[in-house]
Amino acid sequence: MTALPDCQALDAADVLASKRAEFKIPAGKIYLNGNSLGPLPVRALAHSLTLIEQQWGEDLISSWNKHGWIDMPVTCAEKLGPLVGVAPGQLLCCDSVSVNLFKLLAVALQLNKPRTTVVSLQDNFPTDLYMVQGMQSLLGAGQCELQTVDEEDLLDSLNREVAVLLLTQVNFRSGAMLDIQSITQRAHELGILVIWDLSHSVGAVPLQLDAWSVDMAVGCGYKYLNGGPGAPAFLYVNKQHQAKVSQPLCGWMGHTSPFEFSPDYVPAKDITEFLTGTPPILSLGVLSAALDVFADVTPAQLRSKSLALADYFLALVVARPELSELQLVSPVNAEQRGGQLAFAHEEGYAICQALAAAGILSDFRSPDLLRFGFSPLFLRFADIAKAVTVLADIVAQRRFDEPAFKQRQKVT
């Protein structure tokens, strides 16, 4: 067997190595869960103190103008442009992925009347499916009808009766990745509008939404973007659609002149129509500062290191006979997956808890999946080597059999 590269040599050659210092990583912890919740960026901590103590504490309500609070959904989102391949005027940071999906589903169904079918995958992230089910319940099956299919049947399920195709690029369980460009092109040939969920992509996978003619997209701010728990999500609406739509959650911030306080709703004539309520300034400020960490790196650099970390982890696992009972469910081919690896094991939950007790933070997804995320900005190859060593010891010694590791917590 070919000798594996030394982790120290890999770290010495890492062009993103200096980025680790920009994060608050607790001593003794190896964090392989940035695909679920990113760690705290140092600058986000500093900015949040300024935001609270100075802008809110001293400048009070004048900060809406003085510090640009009112424009933060747009100014924060524009920092995302290079990561998703989007020209200005098409992105917003606001609300949650679920709420933004509701807005975009309603808009896409409007645009594609009289078609009513929304196609998605059976294994899509549940909130995406729930939002379509909620829309169907609200409008009735005559106006919105969800059809879910297996991935292998996806392209065959598309026809000229489908209004909307709702897909997640990176599967949250396996990490398997769909080809946005080719699927979007095929859908467009049939007159179908496509909404992409990029929650497990942005910050780890290069994206070119404009170049790929994507219609609409959503994504969350707290995974690879490190915007904090419950950070605002983002939405994208291609400029070609903006003048043709009217989103249904007509809050005052989506009004063309919100501070005229007119009793009649007149939607803004740009992306800000997709705003609803007052922007959550504290959480937007943290996300905005977190996005500054990406200002001097390229999507290609992020992708290259993420894949290198994952491939190193996988090679180390394969080299350990005691880990042969872990079944890889992610694609072996790195180009076919996002920034994570998933392994099936009947004791996956208990193994995850045993790892956490040893300072290795991963996560578990029902029914039996161990997930490891490979965030490129703060992880080292030495972290990967140590994590696999600890994992091998836990499995070989069956340390996961301790009763405490089998007690299910509310968040897994």
- Return the structure tokens found at 111: 């645009």
Cα Dmax for the chain: 74
Beta carbons of 271 and 237 less than 8 angstroms apart: yes
The catalytic residue among 125, 274, 349, 381 is 125
Domain boundaries, the chain: 7-31+298-406, 48-294
Query: β-strand 216-219 against 234-237: which pairing, if any?
Result: antiparallel
Mean pLDDT in the chain?
Answer: 97
Give me the percent of the chain exceeding a pLDDT of 70. 99
DSSP state, residue 6: P
Class of domain 7-31+298-406: alpha beta
Say whether 222 is catalytic.
yes
The catalytic residue among 223, 303, 305, 380 is 223
Amino acid sitting at position 25: I
pLDDT confidence bin for 1, thresholds 50/70/90:
very low
Model confidence at 140: pLDDT above 80: yes
Say whether 197 is catalytic.
yes
Convert the pLDDT of each residue in 336-386 to its tens digit. Answer: 999 999 999 999 999 999 999 999 999 999 999 999 999 999 999 999 999
The catalytic residue among 31, 222, 236, 378 is 222
pLDDT confidence bin for 5, thresholds 50/70/90:
confident
- Of 33, 10, 79, residue with least CA distance to 285: 79
Beta carbons of 93 and 72 less than 8 angstroms apart: yes
For residue 353, CA distances in Å to 231, 323, 359 come to 26, 17, 10
- Return the structure tokens found at 114: 């009289």
For residue 313, CA distances in Å to 247, 369, 373 come to 44, 16, 10
How far apart are alpha carbons 209 and 198 in whole angstroms?
11
Strand partners, 363: 371
Which one of 3.40.640.10, 3.40.50.2020, 3.90.550.40, 3.20.20.220 gives the CATH number of domain 48-294? 3.40.640.10
Amino acid sitting at position 119: V
- Of 154, 94, 76, 160, residue with least CA distance to 122: 154
Q: What is the pLDDT of residue 245?
A: 84
Model confidence at 68: pLDDT above 50: yes
Convert the pLDDT of each residue in 182-204 to its tens digit. Answer: 999 999 999 999 999 999 999 99
The beta-strand segments (E) located in 150-261 are: 162-168, 193-197, 216-219, 234-237
Say whether 125 is catalytic.
yes
Give me the percent of the chain exceeding a pLDDT of 90. 97
Q: What is the pLDDT of residue 299?
A: 98
Against a cut of 0.85, is the pTM above it? yes
The catalytic residue among 102, 371, 380, 400 is 371
Residues 6+ apart with CB under 8 A from 407: none
Q: How far is CA 175 from the centre of its chain?
A: 12
- 379-383: long-range pairs with CB below 8 Å, 24+: 379/20, 379/31, 379/32, 379/34, 379/309, 380/7, 380/11, 380/14, 380/17, 380/20, 381/7, 381/8, 381/10, 381/11, 381/14, 381/308, 381/309, 381/312, 382/7, 382/8, 382/11, 383/30, 383/32
How far apart are alpha carbons 34 and 39 in whole angstroms?
7
How far apart are alpha carbons 103 and 126 in whole angstroms?
17
Residues 141-160 have a mean pLDDT of 96
Say whether 173 is catalytic.
no
How far apart are alpha carbons 398 and 412 in whole angstroms?
20
